[in-house]
Every structure is written in C-alpha cells, then in structure tokens.
Amino acid sequence: MAETRILDGRETVLLEFVCCLADGVGAQAKGHFFGCRNLGVTGAEMRGAVELVRRLAGQLGLVSFLERVREGENEGEGEGEFRFLKKAGSW
C-alpha cells in the first residue's frame, strides 16, 4: 500500500483498480476490485469508477477497449475476463 498521509488504503485500492482497468489487465483489476469491496468502497463508487474509465476510453476512441470491458447489465454480456464487474451492482 502507498503512504497513507495522502491517500488512505481505501482510496489507494480504488486508484489501483482504475489503473488496472484502464490498462485492460483483467486479472489484476479483479483482485483490486474485490480489495475495494473489502475496504468499504460502495457499489455506486465502483460503478462510477468504471464509468469514468469508459468515458475516458470513449473520448480517446478506444472502441476495442469499450467492447472488452463491459459490465454486463444484459443477459449474455460481460462474458470475458471482465465479467466480475457486474458484481458491483449487488453491493
């Protein structure tokens, strides 16, 4: 974990999650995703973080990223390495 005088553990793990998600590394993002839950990040905060990354990717024209990273709100979506993201809806 990082120095806690600037960011606490909760903020640090959320930032780590966002960075891993933005880098498209599902396994690492998944670990930090559940770390966020363990440190008290709410589902709304997680969904907001995912949406922030999506919007940035959209503004940069990263269509392939947007296709890979889906929360899977509809049946049959989110079947890839990022399917864990839909769990934030039940937090």
pTM of the model: 0.83
79 confidence band (pLDDT: 50, 70, 90)? low
- The answer to whether 57 touches 65, Cβ cutoff 8 Å, is yes
Answer whether 64's CB lies under 8 Å from 54's CB. no
Does residue 57 belong to any structural domain of this protein? Answer: yes
pLDDT at 1: 59
Spatial separation of the C-alpha atoms in residues 82 and 12, rounded to whole Å: 21
- Residue 78: its pLDDT value, please? 46
User: What is the span of the domain harbouring residue 80?
Assistant: 9-86
Residue 51 within any structural domain of the chain: yes
For tokens 């809806």, the residue is: 89
Categorize the per-residue pLDDT at 73 as very low, low, confident or very high, splitting at 50, 70 and 90: very low
Q: Is residue 25 part of a domain?
A: yes
Residue 2 belongs to some domain of the structure: no
The radius of gyration of the chain from alpha carbons, rounded to an integer in Å, stands at 13
Residue 4 in any domain: the answer is no
Q: What is the pLDDT of residue 20?
A: 95
**Is residue 13 in some structural domain?**
yes
Is 62 a domain residue? yes
What total of structural domains would you count in the chain? 1
